[in-house]
A and B are shown apart, each in its own frame.
Chain A
C-alpha cells in the first residue's frame, strides 16, 4: 500500500482487512510502549518527593513539635525552624495555598499533641491565588501523599491522580531512572533514601544556599515577576481563600493553639510594583482576621535590615536571609505559649 501526500490511499485493498491490519499494527506498535510505561510507572511511584519527605519527617517528629509553619514557598524558604525557640517544623511548600494549609492542619493537628503555635506565612498573592491555576500538578502530590482531594471536583478526574509519570513529568522520572541505574551499576540499592539537600530535618528549604552571586532584583525583574503573579491573582479567589483561612483559624482556636499571621520580607523593587488594591485588601483582611481570632499579625513586608544577599530572588529569602528573618520572628514571638493562651 502506498500513501499519498494528502493521506489518500492508492490501490488500497478493501477497507475491512486494511482496517484490521492497521489495528493489529497499532497494537504491535503500542505494546513495547505500554510495557515501558508500566515499568516506569512502578518505578516512579517509589521516588521520594518533597511532599513524601515532609510527611515522613513530621510523622517522626510528631511527639515533640510545638510550632508548625504553614504557607507557600516564601515560608518554606523564609522560616528556619531551628532558629525558633522550642521544637518547630516547617510544613510550608511551593505554591501551597490556604486551602491546603487548612486541609493539612486538619490532617495533622490531632497527631501533634504538643502543638502550641501555628505560624501562617502569608504572601502578597495568597488571598487571590489557587493552586489549580498556579501549579496544578502540585495538587496531585497532596492527594498521593496526604490523601487530600483537589479543591475543584473536576480535577479529581485528572489522570495525574492515578499516574506517577504523568504527575512527575516524564523528564524527572527518566532522570531518576538513570540515577538509579548508575547506583545499581556501582553496587548500590535500587531505591535510595531521599538525600535532597533542599529540605533540612525540620522541613526548611535551604537549597538556595549559597545565594547566586547576583540575584536579579532589578525593577525589570520585579515587573516581570509581578506580571506573572498578577496573571494568577483573581478577586474571585478571595472569598474561598478567606473561608479556608477562617476555617483554619477556627480549628486552631478550638484547640487552644496560638495562630500567628506573618507577612515575610520582600525586596523593595517587588514591593514598589505591587498593586496597591491587592496589598491593601490583604493587609485589611489580615488585621481583621487577627482581631477576630485573637491572632498575632506580624508584617515584615518592608522590614529594614535586609540586604541583596539576603534574597535569592525578589520574594524568597536566601539561607542567611531566612536565618536573620527567623531570629527577628523569634524575638517578636517569644517562647511558645502554654496550651491555652487565651
Chain B
C-alpha cells in the first residue's frame, strides 16, 4: 500500500477515526495495530519477521541495562549489533545475487528470488534498532521495558517506508507524553502532507520522465542534453525524497509525533561537509554519532590521515547503506574523496580568501555552485543501472568523447512532458525552496500559516488541482526501495 494510493487514504481515515475515538491509554496499541497492518499489506511474512526482530532486540536490550555485568553487556551488544547488521548485509547481498542471475534464482515450484526479496524499509528499522541498542549500552536512553512501545518505534507506519530515522529517546519521550495533538500540529501536518505529495507528483514525477529516458540510452543524446538530465535527476531526487519526508513528518504530526527533519536546503551548501550535514540528515547524523565519531576518536593519533580515513569510512557507509553495488560504492568513494579534499584544504582556502577579501562575494556564489556540481557528478553513479551504464553516461557527457551527436544539440521530445509542465516543476521547486528559506532564515514561522484563510486556501486548492492533473499511475518513491 503506497502512501499515494487511494487505499492508503482510506486506511489513514480509518486509523485517525479510531485513534481519536479511543481513550488516550489505548492510542499506542491502535497505532501499533495499524502500523503492523500497513506493513502486512506489503508482506505478512516480513511483518512476522519484523516482530521477531523486535522481540530479539527487546530481549538483548534487557542484557544491556546499567546494572548488568559489563562482560555480559558487551556480549549482548556485540550479539545484537552483529545480528542486525548481519541481517541487513545478508539481504543486501542476496538482492544483488538475485538481480545478477534472475533466471537462475529458482526453478518450477521454487522461487529463491521471492524468499530473498528485501523487506520494505529494512535499512531504516535496522538502523533505528541498532541506534536503540547502542544508546542503551551508552546509557543515553533507559531500557524500554514496554514491548508495545519498542515494536511501535520500529514499525511506526509513517516512518517505516523511508524514515526519517528517528532516535529512540526522542520517540519514546513523545510516546510517553502522547496526548491530544495540538491544532497547530495537525494543520502543520496536513500542510506538510500536501507539500510532500505536491513535490512528488508535480515536480519529481515530471522530471523523472526526462531522467528515465536519458539514463536508459545516453548514447542517443547530446552532451548538453545529458548535462540537463543530470541536473534534472538531482532535482528529482531532492523533490522525491524531501517530498516523502514531508509526507512522513506530516503523517506523524497527525498522531502527535514529530519526527526529525531530513533536509535543510542542501543545494545551498557551500562545501561537501556542509552538504552532507543538510542532506538525508537523519541518516548522516546517525552515522556521525555511531560511526564517524568513534572512528575519528579511534584514529585521532593519525592526525589528518585519521580524519581522512574516518570521513572516507563514513561516506562509504552512507553509500553502501543504499545497496552493495559498484555504483553505490563509487558514489561513496567520490563523495568521500571530495569531502576529504575539501576538509583538508579548508584552512588554506579560508586563509586565501582572507588575504583576497574582494573575492569573498564571488566565493559565496561559486562555492554552492561547485558543491552542487560535484554532487551531481557523483549522482550519475547513484542513478545508473550499473557501472557500465554510469560510465556510458559520463563518457557521452564529455563533449567530443565517443559521441557522434553535436555536443550542444538541444532537441527533446519527451512523451508526456510538455514545456509548461517542465517549467512548472522547476518553478514550483524554486517557490517551495523560497518559502523554506524564508521560514528558516527570516520569519522563523511558516509564512503560509500567517496568511489570511482565503488566499491560503486558494493556494492549497491550486496545489491540489496541479497534483490532480499531474498524477500518474506508477512512480514509486526512490527512497522507498532502500
Q: Mark B391-407, 1 if CB is under 8 A from A, else 0.
A: 01000000000000000
Expressed in whole angstroms, the minimum distance between the Cβ of A229 and any Cβ of chain B is 9
Residue of A32, A157, A276 near B461 (CB, 8 A) is A32
Q: With A239-B109, A281-B108 given, is the CB distance from A170 to B469 under 8 Å?
A: yes
Cα of A202 to Cα of B6 in the assembled complex, Å:
35
Cα of A150 to Cα of B245 in the assembled complex, Å:
33
Expressed in whole angstroms, the minimum distance between the Cβ of B265 and any Cβ of chain A is 15
Expressed in whole angstroms, the minimum distance between the Cβ of A234 and any Cβ of chain B is 6
Residue of A10, A170, A238 near B108 (CB, 8 A) is A238
Expressed in whole angstroms, the minimum distance between the Cβ of A284 and any Cβ of chain B is 10
Q: Which residues of B contact A276 (CB under 8 A)?
A: 103
Residues of A1-25 at the interface with B, using a CB-CB cut-off of 8 Å, are: 1-10, 12, 15, 18-19, 21-22
Q: With A169-B471, A218-B219 given, is the CB distance from A5 to B258 under 8 Å?
A: no
Q: Which residues of B contact A10 (CB under 8 A)?
A: 184
Residues of B85-139 at the interface with A, using a CB-CB cut-off of 8 Å, are: 99, 102-114
The reply to whether B217 and A239 form a contact with Cβ atoms under 8 Å apart is no
A185 contacts the other chain (Cβ, under 8 Å)? no
Q: Mark A199-235, 1 if CB is under 8 A from B, else 0.
A: 0000000000000000010101100100100110111
Q: Which residues of B contact A158 (CB under 8 A)?
A: 5-7
The reply to whether A236 and B472 form a contact with Cβ atoms under 8 Å apart is no
A307 contacts the other chain (Cβ, under 8 Å)? no
Q: Mark B173-209, 1 if CB is under 8 A from A, else 0.
A: 0000000101111111110000000000000000000
The reply to whether B217 and A170 form a contact with Cβ atoms under 8 Å apart is no
**Could you say which of A106-114, A159-167, A295-303, A331-339 contacts chain B?**
A159-167
The reply to whether A3 and B385 form a contact with Cβ atoms under 8 Å apart is no
Q: Which residues of A contact B183 (CB under 8 A)?
A: 1, 3, 9, 12, 15, 18-19, 21-22
Q: Which residues of B contact A254 (CB under 8 A)?
A: none
A145 contacts the other chain (Cβ, under 8 Å)? no
Cα of A38 to Cα of B470 in the assembled complex, Å:
19
The reply to whether B217 and A235 form a contact with Cβ atoms under 8 Å apart is no
A51 contacts the other chain (Cβ, under 8 Å)? no
The reply to whether A3 and B7 form a contact with Cβ atoms under 8 Å apart is no
Expressed in whole angstroms, the minimum distance between the Cβ of A151 and any Cβ of chain B is 16
Expressed in whole angstroms, the minimum distance between the Cβ of A184 and any Cβ of chain B is 19
Interface centre among B41, B460, B471 (most CB of A within 10 A): B471
Q: Mark B372-388, 1 if CB is under 8 A from A, else 0.
A: 00000000000001000
The reply to whether B445 and A33 form a contact with Cβ atoms under 8 Å apart is no
B216 contacts the other chain (Cβ, under 8 Å)? yes
The reply to whether A2 and B103 form a contact with Cβ atoms under 8 Å apart is no
Q: Mark B451-481, 1 if CB is under 8 A from A, else 0.
A: 0000001001100100011111110000000
Q: Which residues of A contact B471 (CB under 8 A)?
A: 169-171
B56 contacts the other chain (Cβ, under 8 Å)? no
The reply to whether B114 and A7 form a contact with Cβ atoms under 8 Å apart is no
The reply to whether A5 and B445 form a contact with Cβ atoms under 8 Å apart is yes
Cα of A276 to Cα of B102 in the assembled complex, Å:
10
The reply to whether B187 and A233 form a contact with Cβ atoms under 8 Å apart is no
Expressed in whole angstroms, the minimum distance between the Cβ of B117 and any Cβ of chain A is 9
Residue of A7, A137, A174, A216 near B184 (CB, 8 A) is A7
Expressed in whole angstroms, the minimum distance between the Cβ of B114 and any Cβ of chain A is 5
Q: Nearest B residue to A40 by beta-carbon distance?
A: B468
The reply to whether B105 and A170 form a contact with Cβ atoms under 8 Å apart is no
Q: With A163-B6, A171-B471, A236-B114 given, is the CB distance from A220 to B392 under 8 Å?
A: yes
Q: With A3-B449, A236-B106, A236-B114 given, is the CB distance from A8 to B219 under 8 Å?
A: no
A35 contacts the other chain (Cβ, under 8 Å)? no
A94 contacts the other chain (Cβ, under 8 Å)? no
Q: Nearest A residue to B115 by beta-carbon distance?
A: A236
Q: Mark B239-264, 1 if CB is under 8 A from A, else 0.
A: 00000000000000100001000000
Expressed in whole angstroms, the minimum distance between the Cβ of B309 and any Cβ of chain A is 36
Residues of A267-289 at the interface with B, using a CB-CB cut-off of 8 Å, are: 275-278, 281
B450 contacts the other chain (Cβ, under 8 Å)? yes
Report the tally of A-B residue pairs with Cβ distances under 8 A.
136
Q: Which residues of A contact B472 (CB under 8 A)?
A: 169, 171
B: interface residue count bin: 35 or more
Expressed in whole angstroms, the minimum distance between the Cβ of A318 and any Cβ of chain B is 17
The reply to whether A159 and B7 form a contact with Cβ atoms under 8 Å apart is yes
Q: With A216-B220, A221-B217 given, is the CB distance from A275 to B180 under 8 Å?
A: no
Q: Which residues of B contact A169 (CB under 8 A)?
A: 471-473
B411 contacts the other chain (Cβ, under 8 Å)? no
Q: Which residues of B contact A2 (CB under 8 A)?
A: 445, 449-450
Q: Nearest B residue to A168 by beta-carbon distance?
A: B473
B10 contacts the other chain (Cβ, under 8 Å)? yes
Q: Which residues of B contact A174 (CB under 8 A)?
A: 468-469
The reply to whether B446 and A3 form a contact with Cβ atoms under 8 Å apart is yes
Cα of A281 to Cα of B464 in the assembled complex, Å:
49
Cα of A148 to Cα of B190 in the assembled complex, Å:
37
Cα of A121 to Cα of B212 in the assembled complex, Å:
30
A29 contacts the other chain (Cβ, under 8 Å)? yes
Q: Nearest A residue to B107 by beta-carbon distance?
A: A235
Q: Which residues of B contact A12 (CB under 8 A)?
A: 182-184
Expressed in whole angstroms, the minimum distance between the Cβ of A71 and any Cβ of chain B is 22
Cα of A134 to Cα of B102 in the assembled complex, Å:
16
Cα of A171 to Cα of B185 in the assembled complex, Å:
32
The reply to whether A170 and B111 form a contact with Cβ atoms under 8 Å apart is no
The reply to whether A221 and B216 form a contact with Cβ atoms under 8 Å apart is yes
Q: With A169-B471, A218-B219 given, is the CB distance from A224 to B460 under 8 Å?
A: no
Q: Which residues of A contact B185 (CB under 8 A)?
A: 7-9
The reply to whether B182 and A8 form a contact with Cβ atoms under 8 Å apart is yes
Q: Which residues of B contact A1 (CB under 8 A)?
A: 183-184
The reply to whether A171 and B392 form a contact with Cβ atoms under 8 Å apart is no
Q: Nearest A residue to B443 by beta-carbon distance?
A: A5
Q: Which residues of A contact B41 (CB under 8 A)?
A: 154
Cα of A162 to Cα of B39 in the assembled complex, Å:
24
The reply to whether B253 and A7 form a contact with Cβ atoms under 8 Å apart is yes
Q: Provide 27 A-B residue pairs closer than 8 Å at the C-beta atoms, listed in order of the A residue.
A: A3-B187, A5-B446, A6-B188, A7-B189, A7-B258, A9-B185, A10-B184, A15-B182, A15-B183, A19-B180, A26-B190, A32-B461, A33-B461, A154-B41, A159-B9, A166-B6, A216-B220, A220-B217, A221-B217, A224-B217, A230-B102, A234-B106, A236-B106, A238-B108, A239-B109, A275-B104, A276-B103
- Chain A positions near chain B (C-beta within 8 angstroms): 1-10, 12, 15, 18-19, 21-22, 26, 29, 32-33, 137, 154, 157-160, 163, 166, 169-171, 174, 216, 218, 220-221, 224, 227, 230-231, 233-236, 238-239, 275-278, 281
Known: A158-B6, A235-B112. 17 other contacts (CB 8 A): A3-B449, A5-B444, A15-B183, A19-B180, A154-B41, A159-B5, A166-B6, A171-B469, A218-B217, A220-B216, A233-B102, A234-B111, A235-B113, A236-B111, A275-B102, A277-B107, A281-B107
Q: Which 8 A-B pairs give the minimum distances between C-beta atoms?
A: A235-B106, A277-B103, A275-B103, A159-B6, A236-B111, A9-B184, A7-B188, A3-B184
